[in-house]
Amino acid sequence: MTAAKIENATADDRRPLLEVVDLRLHYPIKRGVISRTVGHVKAVDGVSFSVYPGETLGIVGESGCGKSSAGRSIIRLETPTSGSVIFDGDDISRAGERSLRRVRSELQMVFQDPYASLNPQLRIGDLLAEPLIAHHKCSRAEAKQRVREILTTVGLNDQYVNRYPHELSGGQRQRVGIARALMLEPKLIVCDEPVSALDVSIQAQVLNLLKDLQEDFGLTYIFISHGLGAIKYISDRIAVMYLGKIMELAPTTEIFNRPSHPYTELLLDAYPEPNPRLRDRERMVIEGDVPSPADPPSGCVFHTRCPYAQEKCRIEVPQLESIDAADSGRGEVACHFPLDKPSRRSFAAPEPVPAGRHSASATASGEGA
Protein backbone atom coordinates (compact mmCIF):
# COMPACT_ATOMS: atom_id res chain seq x y z
CA MET A 1 0.00 0.00 0.00
CA THR A 2 1.38 3.40 -0.93
CA ALA A 3 1.81 6.13 1.65
CA ALA A 4 -0.55 8.37 -0.26
CA LYS A 5 -3.27 5.79 -0.06
CA ILE A 6 -3.07 5.44 3.72
CA GLU A 7 -3.29 9.20 3.94
CA ASN A 8 -6.39 9.15 1.78
CA ALA A 9 -8.08 6.47 3.75
CA THR A 10 -7.60 8.16 7.09
CA ALA A 11 -8.32 11.71 6.02
CA ASP A 12 -12.09 11.59 6.44
CA ASP A 13 -12.48 15.28 5.76
CA ARG A 14 -11.68 14.59 2.12
CA ARG A 15 -14.54 14.68 -0.32
CA PRO A 16 -15.87 11.17 -0.90
CA LEU A 17 -15.98 9.89 -4.50
CA LEU A 18 -19.20 8.05 -3.80
CA GLU A 19 -21.74 8.74 -1.12
CA VAL A 20 -24.60 6.34 -0.57
CA VAL A 21 -27.35 7.74 1.64
CA ASP A 22 -30.16 5.59 3.04
CA LEU A 23 -30.26 3.38 -0.06
CA ARG A 24 -33.27 1.07 -0.29
CA LEU A 25 -34.09 -1.52 -2.92
CA HIS A 26 -37.42 -3.26 -2.40
CA TYR A 27 -38.79 -5.83 -4.81
CA PRO A 28 -42.59 -6.11 -4.89
CA ILE A 29 -44.06 -9.58 -4.25
CA LYS A 30 -46.96 -10.11 -6.63
CA ARG A 31 -49.68 -12.69 -6.21
CA GLY A 32 -52.99 -13.61 -7.72
CA VAL A 33 -54.65 -13.17 -11.09
CA ILE A 34 -54.28 -9.40 -11.23
CA SER A 35 -50.73 -9.46 -9.78
CA ARG A 36 -51.59 -7.56 -6.65
CA THR A 37 -48.57 -6.43 -4.62
CA VAL A 38 -48.80 -8.23 -1.30
CA GLY A 39 -45.48 -7.20 0.18
CA HIS A 40 -41.88 -6.32 -0.53
CA VAL A 41 -38.58 -8.16 -0.37
CA LYS A 42 -36.31 -5.67 1.32
CA ALA A 43 -33.08 -6.60 -0.45
CA VAL A 44 -31.36 -3.39 0.58
CA ASP A 45 -32.93 -1.55 3.48
CA GLY A 46 -31.39 1.77 4.46
CA VAL A 47 -27.70 1.46 3.65
CA SER A 48 -25.39 4.47 3.95
CA PHE A 49 -21.66 4.69 3.41
CA SER A 50 -19.01 6.74 1.67
CA VAL A 51 -16.14 5.65 -0.51
CA TYR A 52 -13.05 7.85 -0.74
CA PRO A 53 -10.81 8.15 -3.80
CA GLY A 54 -8.17 5.45 -4.02
CA GLU A 55 -9.54 3.17 -1.31
CA THR A 56 -11.19 -0.22 -1.43
CA LEU A 57 -14.39 -0.70 0.49
CA GLY A 58 -15.22 -4.34 1.06
CA ILE A 59 -18.82 -5.46 1.50
CA VAL A 60 -19.17 -8.86 3.13
CA GLY A 61 -22.13 -10.94 4.20
CA GLU A 62 -23.98 -14.20 3.72
CA SER A 63 -25.79 -15.10 0.51
CA GLY A 64 -28.97 -13.07 0.22
CA CYS A 65 -27.87 -10.29 2.56
CA GLY A 66 -28.27 -7.72 -0.21
CA LYS A 67 -24.63 -7.00 -0.97
CA SER A 68 -24.94 -7.67 -4.71
CA SER A 69 -28.26 -5.83 -4.88
CA ALA A 70 -26.56 -2.86 -3.24
CA GLY A 71 -23.74 -3.02 -5.80
CA ARG A 72 -26.16 -3.23 -8.70
CA SER A 73 -28.25 -0.31 -7.51
CA ILE A 74 -25.13 1.82 -7.03
CA ILE A 75 -24.22 1.48 -10.70
CA ARG A 76 -27.93 1.70 -11.55
CA LEU A 77 -28.42 -1.70 -13.11
CA GLU A 78 -31.36 -1.62 -10.73
CA THR A 79 -33.19 1.57 -9.87
CA PRO A 80 -33.22 2.01 -6.10
CA THR A 81 -36.61 2.33 -4.39
CA SER A 82 -35.38 5.28 -2.37
CA GLY A 83 -32.23 6.94 -1.09
CA SER A 84 -29.52 8.63 -3.05
CA VAL A 85 -26.26 7.65 -4.68
CA ILE A 86 -24.02 10.68 -5.05
CA PHE A 87 -21.19 9.97 -7.44
CA ASP A 88 -18.61 12.70 -7.92
CA GLY A 89 -21.07 15.33 -6.74
CA ASP A 90 -24.11 14.23 -8.78
CA ASP A 91 -27.04 12.21 -7.51
CA ILE A 92 -27.37 9.38 -10.02
CA SER A 93 -30.08 7.42 -8.22
CA ARG A 94 -32.77 9.10 -10.32
CA ALA A 95 -30.70 9.98 -13.40
CA GLY A 96 -32.31 9.41 -16.79
CA GLU A 97 -31.03 7.02 -19.44
CA ARG A 98 -29.00 9.68 -21.23
CA SER A 99 -27.05 11.06 -18.27
CA LEU A 100 -26.72 7.51 -16.96
CA ARG A 101 -24.87 6.45 -20.07
CA ARG A 102 -22.41 9.28 -19.48
CA VAL A 103 -21.90 8.22 -15.86
CA ARG A 104 -21.34 4.61 -16.91
CA SER A 105 -18.02 5.53 -18.45
CA GLU A 106 -16.76 6.51 -14.99
CA LEU A 107 -18.57 3.89 -12.96
CA GLN A 108 -17.97 0.29 -13.98
CA MET A 109 -18.62 -3.18 -12.68
CA VAL A 110 -16.77 -6.48 -12.75
CA PHE A 111 -19.26 -9.32 -12.63
CA GLN A 112 -19.27 -12.51 -10.65
CA ASP A 113 -19.68 -15.13 -13.35
CA PRO A 114 -17.02 -14.77 -16.05
CA TYR A 115 -18.71 -17.54 -18.04
CA ALA A 116 -22.14 -15.97 -18.35
CA SER A 117 -21.26 -12.28 -18.37
CA LEU A 118 -19.42 -12.23 -21.72
CA ASN A 119 -21.47 -12.36 -24.91
CA PRO A 120 -20.58 -15.70 -26.55
CA GLN A 121 -21.11 -14.25 -30.03
CA LEU A 122 -18.46 -11.55 -29.84
CA ARG A 123 -14.71 -11.85 -30.20
CA ILE A 124 -12.70 -10.55 -27.25
CA GLY A 125 -11.39 -7.64 -29.32
CA ASP A 126 -14.88 -6.59 -30.37
CA LEU A 127 -16.45 -6.79 -26.96
CA LEU A 128 -13.62 -4.76 -25.45
CA ALA A 129 -13.70 -2.11 -28.18
CA GLU A 130 -17.48 -1.80 -28.07
CA PRO A 131 -17.78 0.61 -25.11
CA LEU A 132 -15.17 2.95 -26.63
CA ILE A 133 -17.01 3.09 -29.93
CA ALA A 134 -20.45 3.36 -28.31
CA HIS A 135 -19.33 6.30 -26.19
CA HIS A 136 -17.58 7.86 -29.23
CA LYS A 137 -14.35 8.04 -27.26
CA CYS A 138 -12.17 7.33 -30.26
CA SER A 139 -11.96 5.94 -33.77
CA ARG A 140 -12.00 2.23 -34.58
CA ALA A 141 -8.27 2.17 -35.24
CA GLU A 142 -7.52 3.83 -31.92
CA ALA A 143 -9.92 1.48 -30.17
CA LYS A 144 -8.02 -1.48 -31.60
CA GLN A 145 -4.79 -0.06 -30.23
CA ARG A 146 -6.39 0.52 -26.81
CA VAL A 147 -7.67 -3.07 -26.76
CA ARG A 148 -4.14 -4.37 -27.33
CA GLU A 149 -2.78 -2.19 -24.54
CA ILE A 150 -5.47 -3.17 -22.08
CA LEU A 151 -5.04 -6.89 -22.80
CA THR A 152 -1.36 -6.56 -21.97
CA THR A 153 -2.25 -4.62 -18.83
CA VAL A 154 -4.43 -7.42 -17.50
CA GLY A 155 -1.82 -10.07 -18.30
CA LEU A 156 -3.17 -11.37 -21.60
CA ASN A 157 -1.71 -10.54 -25.01
CA ASP A 158 -2.99 -9.34 -28.35
CA GLN A 159 -3.42 -12.90 -29.62
CA TYR A 160 -6.64 -12.97 -27.61
CA VAL A 161 -8.23 -10.27 -29.79
CA ASN A 162 -9.68 -12.81 -32.23
CA ARG A 163 -10.70 -15.43 -29.71
CA TYR A 164 -14.21 -16.10 -28.51
CA PRO A 165 -15.00 -16.17 -24.76
CA HIS A 166 -15.62 -19.94 -24.76
CA GLU A 167 -12.04 -20.53 -25.86
CA LEU A 168 -10.70 -19.00 -22.63
CA SER A 169 -10.30 -20.42 -19.12
CA GLY A 170 -12.20 -18.97 -16.16
CA GLY A 171 -9.26 -16.88 -14.99
CA GLN A 172 -8.60 -15.56 -18.48
CA ARG A 173 -12.25 -14.68 -18.88
CA GLN A 174 -12.27 -12.76 -15.62
CA ARG A 175 -9.18 -10.87 -16.84
CA VAL A 176 -11.23 -9.97 -19.92
CA GLY A 177 -14.07 -8.91 -17.60
CA ILE A 178 -11.67 -6.64 -15.72
CA ALA A 179 -10.19 -5.32 -18.98
CA ARG A 180 -13.72 -4.54 -20.13
CA ALA A 181 -14.40 -2.52 -16.99
CA LEU A 182 -11.09 -0.64 -17.46
CA MET A 183 -11.70 0.28 -21.12
CA LEU A 184 -13.50 3.53 -20.34
CA GLU A 185 -10.96 4.52 -17.67
CA PRO A 186 -13.50 4.60 -14.84
CA LYS A 187 -12.95 6.23 -11.46
CA LEU A 188 -14.84 3.62 -9.49
CA ILE A 189 -15.23 -0.09 -10.14
CA VAL A 190 -17.78 -2.19 -8.31
CA CYS A 191 -16.37 -5.73 -8.14
CA ASP A 192 -19.32 -8.07 -7.52
CA GLU A 193 -17.80 -11.30 -6.23
CA PRO A 194 -15.15 -11.20 -8.96
CA VAL A 195 -13.27 -14.25 -7.69
CA SER A 196 -16.04 -16.47 -6.27
CA ALA A 197 -16.45 -18.43 -9.50
CA LEU A 198 -12.72 -19.10 -9.86
CA ASP A 199 -10.35 -21.78 -8.60
CA VAL A 200 -8.49 -20.84 -5.45
CA SER A 201 -5.16 -20.67 -7.29
CA ILE A 202 -6.63 -18.32 -9.91
CA GLN A 203 -8.37 -16.24 -7.23
CA ALA A 204 -5.02 -15.07 -5.90
CA GLN A 205 -3.83 -14.04 -9.36
CA VAL A 206 -6.97 -12.04 -10.06
CA LEU A 207 -6.85 -10.34 -6.64
CA ASN A 208 -3.24 -9.37 -7.22
CA LEU A 209 -4.14 -8.04 -10.65
CA LEU A 210 -6.89 -5.89 -9.12
CA LYS A 211 -4.44 -4.55 -6.53
CA ASP A 212 -1.80 -3.73 -9.13
CA LEU A 213 -4.33 -1.97 -11.35
CA GLN A 214 -5.52 0.07 -8.40
CA GLU A 215 -1.99 1.37 -7.83
CA ASP A 216 -1.31 1.99 -11.52
CA PHE A 217 -4.55 3.75 -12.40
CA GLY A 218 -5.53 5.22 -9.02
CA LEU A 219 -8.77 3.24 -9.00
CA THR A 220 -11.36 3.13 -6.27
CA TYR A 221 -13.08 -0.20 -5.61
CA ILE A 222 -16.18 -1.46 -3.95
CA PHE A 223 -15.37 -5.12 -3.46
CA ILE A 224 -18.33 -7.37 -2.77
CA SER A 225 -17.60 -10.89 -1.54
CA HIS A 226 -18.67 -13.59 0.84
CA GLY A 227 -15.10 -14.83 1.07
CA LEU A 228 -13.38 -13.40 4.12
CA GLY A 229 -9.91 -14.23 2.78
CA ALA A 230 -10.32 -12.24 -0.40
CA ILE A 231 -12.03 -9.34 1.31
CA LYS A 232 -9.40 -9.09 4.02
CA TYR A 233 -6.62 -9.15 1.45
CA ILE A 234 -7.97 -6.37 -0.74
CA SER A 235 -10.05 -4.04 1.47
CA ASP A 236 -9.04 -0.93 3.40
CA ARG A 237 -12.41 -0.77 5.12
CA ILE A 238 -15.12 -3.40 5.38
CA ALA A 239 -18.89 -3.13 5.64
CA VAL A 240 -20.58 -6.20 7.14
CA MET A 241 -24.13 -6.63 5.82
CA TYR A 242 -26.99 -8.69 7.20
CA LEU A 243 -30.56 -8.73 5.85
CA GLY A 244 -30.16 -5.60 3.77
CA LYS A 245 -28.54 -3.51 6.52
CA ILE A 246 -24.98 -2.63 7.47
CA MET A 247 -24.10 -4.16 10.84
CA GLU A 248 -20.59 -2.85 11.12
CA LEU A 249 -18.39 -0.60 9.02
CA ALA A 250 -14.77 -0.35 10.13
CA PRO A 251 -11.16 -0.53 8.92
CA THR A 252 -10.05 -4.05 7.98
CA THR A 253 -7.71 -4.50 10.94
CA GLU A 254 -10.44 -3.44 13.37
CA ILE A 255 -12.98 -5.83 11.87
CA PHE A 256 -10.60 -8.78 12.06
CA ASN A 257 -8.90 -8.02 15.37
CA ARG A 258 -11.62 -6.28 17.35
CA PRO A 259 -15.07 -7.05 15.90
CA SER A 260 -17.69 -4.89 17.59
CA HIS A 261 -20.85 -6.49 16.26
CA PRO A 262 -21.83 -10.00 17.42
CA TYR A 263 -22.62 -10.91 13.81
CA THR A 264 -19.13 -9.92 12.70
CA GLU A 265 -17.72 -12.10 15.46
CA LEU A 266 -19.82 -15.07 14.36
CA LEU A 267 -18.90 -14.52 10.72
CA LEU A 268 -15.19 -14.54 11.58
CA ASP A 269 -15.70 -17.63 13.67
CA ALA A 270 -17.16 -19.48 10.73
CA TYR A 271 -14.02 -18.82 8.72
CA PRO A 272 -12.01 -22.07 8.50
CA GLU A 273 -8.80 -22.07 10.51
CA PRO A 274 -5.82 -22.78 8.25
CA ASN A 275 -3.61 -23.87 11.17
CA PRO A 276 -4.63 -27.38 12.30
CA ARG A 277 -3.13 -26.89 15.79
CA LEU A 278 -5.56 -24.09 16.48
CA ARG A 279 -8.60 -26.05 15.39
CA ASP A 280 -9.40 -27.51 18.81
CA ARG A 281 -10.80 -24.29 20.17
CA GLU A 282 -14.49 -24.15 20.76
CA ARG A 283 -16.34 -22.46 17.94
CA MET A 284 -19.43 -20.36 18.20
CA VAL A 285 -21.98 -21.77 15.84
CA ILE A 286 -24.52 -19.48 14.29
CA GLU A 287 -27.97 -20.92 14.93
CA GLY A 288 -30.97 -21.00 12.63
CA ASP A 289 -31.54 -19.60 9.17
CA VAL A 290 -31.44 -16.08 7.86
CA PRO A 291 -34.97 -14.68 8.33
CA SER A 292 -36.90 -13.80 5.18
CA PRO A 293 -36.10 -10.33 3.87
CA ALA A 294 -39.81 -10.05 3.01
CA ASP A 295 -40.62 -10.11 6.72
CA PRO A 296 -37.52 -9.01 8.66
CA PRO A 297 -37.52 -9.24 12.46
CA SER A 298 -38.45 -6.19 14.52
CA GLY A 299 -35.81 -4.08 16.23
CA CYS A 300 -32.33 -5.27 15.41
CA VAL A 301 -32.70 -7.66 12.43
CA PHE A 302 -30.03 -9.92 13.92
CA HIS A 303 -31.71 -10.41 17.31
CA THR A 304 -33.26 -13.77 16.35
CA ARG A 305 -29.83 -15.34 16.00
CA CYS A 306 -27.72 -13.19 18.31
CA PRO A 307 -26.31 -14.97 21.36
CA TYR A 308 -26.26 -11.69 23.31
CA ALA A 309 -29.73 -10.44 22.38
CA GLN A 310 -31.75 -8.67 25.05
CA GLU A 311 -35.22 -7.16 25.32
CA LYS A 312 -34.11 -3.83 23.85
CA CYS A 313 -32.86 -5.54 20.68
CA ARG A 314 -36.35 -6.85 19.94
CA ILE A 315 -37.93 -3.41 20.09
CA GLU A 316 -35.50 -0.70 19.09
CA VAL A 317 -33.66 -0.52 15.78
CA PRO A 318 -29.98 0.22 16.46
CA GLN A 319 -28.42 2.99 14.35
CA LEU A 320 -25.00 2.83 12.73
CA GLU A 321 -22.91 4.90 15.16
CA SER A 322 -19.25 5.42 16.03
CA ILE A 323 -17.85 2.56 18.08
CA ASP A 324 -15.64 4.93 20.03
CA ALA A 325 -16.64 8.59 20.05
CA ALA A 326 -13.06 9.56 20.89
CA ASP A 327 -11.50 7.50 18.10
CA SER A 328 -13.19 7.88 14.72
CA GLY A 329 -10.67 5.45 13.24
CA ARG A 330 -12.40 2.52 14.92
CA GLY A 331 -15.41 2.66 12.66
CA GLU A 332 -19.13 2.35 13.19
CA VAL A 333 -21.45 -0.36 14.47
CA ALA A 334 -25.22 -0.85 14.56
CA CYS A 335 -25.62 -2.62 17.89
CA HIS A 336 -27.11 -1.73 21.28
CA PHE A 337 -24.49 -3.79 23.08
CA PRO A 338 -21.31 -3.74 20.99
CA LEU A 339 -18.54 -6.14 21.96
CA ASP A 340 -15.42 -4.67 23.45
CA LYS A 341 -12.82 -7.38 23.38
CA PRO A 342 -10.17 -8.63 21.00
CA SER A 343 -11.14 -11.27 18.47
CA ARG A 344 -11.19 -14.77 19.92
CA ARG A 345 -9.12 -15.80 16.95
CA SER A 346 -5.73 -14.73 15.81
CA PHE A 347 -5.84 -13.39 12.30
CA ALA A 348 -2.15 -12.64 12.36
CA ALA A 349 -1.59 -16.03 10.73
CA PRO A 350 0.19 -16.01 7.36
CA GLU A 351 -1.84 -14.27 4.71
CA PRO A 352 -3.62 -16.56 2.29
CA VAL A 353 -2.21 -14.56 -0.59
CA PRO A 354 1.29 -13.06 -0.58
CA ALA A 355 1.13 -9.28 -0.77
CA GLY A 356 3.36 -7.06 -2.84
CA ARG A 357 3.98 -6.17 -6.43
CA HIS A 358 3.10 -8.89 -8.90
CA SER A 359 3.87 -9.11 -12.51
CA ALA A 360 0.53 -9.64 -14.17
CA SER A 361 2.00 -11.19 -17.28
CA ALA A 362 4.00 -13.68 -15.26
CA THR A 363 0.94 -14.89 -13.37
CA ALA A 364 -1.08 -15.30 -16.52
CA SER A 365 1.43 -17.67 -18.07
CA GLY A 366 0.85 -20.06 -15.18
CA GLU A 367 -2.79 -20.37 -16.12
CA GLY A 368 -4.08 -23.07 -18.40
CA ALA A 369 -4.79 -21.76 -21.86
Partner 1 sequence: MIPYIIRRILIGIPVLWGVTVINFVIINLAPGSPADLYLTPTSTPNQVAMMRHQLGLDQPIWVRYVKWLGQLVHGDLGYSLQNRIPVTQLLGERILPTLTLMGASLVVAYAVAIPFGIFVARRRNTAADYGVVGLSFLGISVPHFFLGLVMIYVFAVKLGWFPTGNIMTLGGPGGLVDRVEHLVLPTLVLATAISANMVRYVRSSMIDVLGADYIRTARAKGLGDIMITNKHALRNALTPIVTVIGVDLSVLLGGAIVTEQIFQWQGIGLLTIQAIQGRDYSVLMGINLIAALGVFVANLLTDIAYGVVDPRVKYS
Residue 199 makes contact with partner 1 by CB under 8 A: no
Least CB distance to partner 1 at residue 147 (A) = 14
Identity of the residue, 23 or 181, whose beta carbon is nearer to partner 1 in the bound complex:
181
Footprint on residues 146-175 left by partner 1 (CB under 8 A): 164, 166
How many whole angstroms separate alpha carbon 253 and alpha carbon 354? 17
Least distance between partner 1 and beta carbon 323 (Å): 35
Q: Residue 12: CB partners within 8 Å, gap ≥ 6?
A: 52, 328
Closest approach of partner 1 to the CB of residue 222, in Å: 14
For the bound state, the minimum distance from the C-beta of residue 117 to partner 1, rounded and expressed in Å, comes to 4
Packed helices 140-153 and 124-134: angle between N→C axes, nearest 10 degrees: 120
Min dist. Cβ of residue 238 to partner 1 (A) = 24
Task: Please identify which residue in 62, 88, 130, 185 interacts with partner 1, judged by CB under 8 A.
Answer: 130
CA atoms within 13 A on the CB side of 218: 9
CB nearer partner 1, residue 59 or residue 109? 109
Report the DSSP beta bridge partners of residue 242. 245
Long-range contacts of 73-78 (CB under 8 A, 24+ apart): 73/23, 73/25, 73/44, 74/18, 74/20, 74/23, 74/107, 74/190, 74/222, 75/104, 75/107, 75/108, 75/109, 75/190, 76/100, 76/103, 77/109, 78/25
Taking CB under 8 A as the criterion, the residue among 180, 258, 305, 336 binding partner 1 is 180
The 90-129 contact track toward partner 1, x by CB under 8 A, reads: -------x--xxx-xx--xx-x-x--xxxxxxx-------
Distance CA 93, CA 74 (A): 8
Residue-wise over 306-320: b if at least 16 C-beta within 10 A, else e? Answer: beebeeebeeeebeb
Sign of CA dihedral 88, 91, 92, 98: negative
CB nearer partner 1, residue 67 or residue 104: 104
176 binds partner 1 per the rule CB under 8 A: no
Looking only at residues 47 through 76 of this chain, which bind partner 1 when binding is defined by CB under 8 A?
Answer: 75
Sign of CA dihedral 111, 116, 118, 123: positive
In the complex, what is the shortest distance from the CB of residue 184 to partner 1, in angstroms, rounded to a whole number?
A: 8
Q: In the complex, which residues of this chain contact partner 1 (CB under 8 A)?
A: 75, 77, 97, 100-102, 104-105, 108-109, 111, 113, 116-122, 130-131, 134-135, 164, 166, 177, 180, 184
